[in-house]
Amino acid sequence: MTRIPKHGGLDHSLSLLSDPYRYITKTCDRLETDVFHTRLLLQKVICMRGKEAAKLFYDTSRFSREGVSPSHIAKTLFGQGGVQGLDDEAHLHRKAMFMSIVRHERVDKLAATFRDVFQQRLVQWTKMNSVLLYRQVQEIITIAVCRWAGVPLPDGDVDRRTTQLASLFDYAANIGPKHWYARIARKQTNAWLGELIEQVRRADYQPPKNSAAEIIALHRELDGNQLSTHVAAVELNNVIRPTIAVSAFIVQSAHALHQHPEYRQRIADGEDGLLQCFAQEVRRFYPFFPFAGAKTRESFVCNGYRFPAGQKVLLDLYGTDHDPRIWELPDKFDPDRFKNWQRCPFSLIPQGGGDYATNHRCPGEPIAIELMKVALDLLVNYCQYEVPEQELAIDMRRMPAIPASGFTIMKLNLANGGKASA
């Protein structure tokens, strides 16, 4: 057996926090390996990158997710008791619930709702001196996903709920006041959604048929019991919160349009399939999640390396999406690479890998792509705007990573009655 290379030193937590998206790849390159030992928070961790590593990592017979998320992530980003921490039959059964929520026709309905809300907001933007796109898109998605999910959201609550829900992913990795705000926001949003679950179960409120609120409130586990109110609230939040996180992909899309204006004309010309290719390249090229975590169920040997039982392992998502063995010129933004892409569940993994229905790949991935396509269409074909001087460099220490400015636009006008020309 070959010994797994080690990143020497007492602990590398600060190195990871200072460069979360590139730490694993940089260390792999330095050690000339795709797998290495390190210490994070004084615990031994194995880090991996690449397509073959992803295939191994998403082998559920070898890896478990139960109890892997650090407590500060479980108490903010995921919530406690949610599907991300389940394994085996319990995971498959809960995942099936989510798959029923994101059926193709349901995703189309959400995209249509998002388009309606976005177009209404465009009219408001024409009256504003400047628009902070990241915040505005978060509000648009909050309104749209709550309406689609069967969660009542009065106009007066939009700002408050958007701030709370966005903090669950914007501040999850922070240390200090922002993290504690996210912890409070998790409790507040769980209480709000938990009360809604109880209203549905008491028949005091009837959500739309087959909406997320109805499906989750009435879902029964393998033992025949309904989810506890707390867990049901967490899972309803796990529909709403990651959908709002698509705001990061949308701001990254606007950034890509600004950096590569040649694609505006091609989108405006209606080039077949370009919106899909552009959205996929944004998801590949820009940072979203830096890595995913799991632990080994039992000791095993793979490619000559021994993985001990109970060993925590991190898979480099961002590094795999930029692996030159998978992607030609990976640091070049090139949507055309997806024109004839041979789809592989382990090469493009910004939201996890494997199969949607049976593995830990995010079931909301089709939602992200469709909302990105709607936003791209509207930003190119339905309005004109200017991008003023601002800090547009992607903040690689932020998770999710977006331009440091949040991407401000100004002087927005609807074009040709809402349809822009070339």
Q: Which domains does the chain have, with CATH numbers?
A: 13-414 (1.10.630.10)
pLDDT at residue 216, rounded to an integer: 97
- Report how far residue 262's alpha carbon sits from residue 44's, in angstroms, rounded to the nearest whole number: 47
Three-state secondary structure call for residue 4: coil
Q: Hey, what amino acid is at 206?
A: Q
Output the pTM of the full model.
0.94
Render each residue's pLDDT in the chain as its tens digit; 422 residues. 789 999 999 999 999 999 999 999 999 999 999 999 999 988 999 999 999 999 999 999 999 988 787 766 766 777 787 887 888 899 889 999 999 999 999 999 999 999 999 999 999 999 999 999 999 999 999 999 999 999 999 999 999 999 999 999 998 877 789 889 999 999 999 999 999 999 999 999 999 999 999 999 999 999 999 999 999 999 999 999 999 999 999 999 999 999 999 999 999 999 999 999 999 999 999 999 999 999 999 999 999 999 999 999 999 999 999 999 999 999 999 999 999 998 889 999 999 998 877 777 888 899 999 999 999 999 999 999 999 999 999 999 999 999 999 999 999 999 865 554 33
pLDDT at residue 83, rounded to an integer: 81
pLDDT at residue 308, rounded to an integer: 96
What HEC string does the chain produce? CCCCCECCCCCCHHHHHHCCCCHHHHHHHHHCCCEEEEEECCEEEEEECCHHHHHHHCCCCCEECCCCCCHHHHHHHHCCCCHHHCCHHHHHHHHHHHHHHCCHHHHHHHHHHHHHHHHHHHHHHCCCCEEEHHHHHHHHHHHHHHHHHCCCCCHHHHHHHHHHHHHHHHCCCCCCHHHHHHHHHHHHHHHHHHHHHHHHHCCCCCCCCCCHHHHHHHCECCCCCECCHHHHHHHHHHHHHHHHCHHHHHHHHHHHHHHCCHHHHHHHCCCCCHHHHHHHHHHHHCCCCCEEEEEECCCEEECCEEECCCCEEEEEHHHHCCCCCCCCCCCCCCHHHHCCCCCCCCCCCECECCCCCCCCCCCCHHHHHHHHHHHHHHHHHCEEEECCCCCCCECCCCCCCCECCCCEEEEEEECCCCCCCC
pLDDT at residue 323, rounded to an integer: 97
pLDDT at residue 80, rounded to an integer: 80
CB atoms within 10 A of CB 55: 16
- Report how far residue 87's alpha carbon sits from residue 48's, in angstroms, rounded to the nearest whole number: 21
pLDDT at residue 355, rounded to an integer: 83
- Report how far residue 233's alpha carbon sits from residue 125's, in angstroms, rounded to the nearest whole number: 33
- Report how far residue 235's alpha carbon sits from residue 79's, in angstroms, rounded to the nearest whole number: 8
pLDDT at residue 418, rounded to an integer: 56
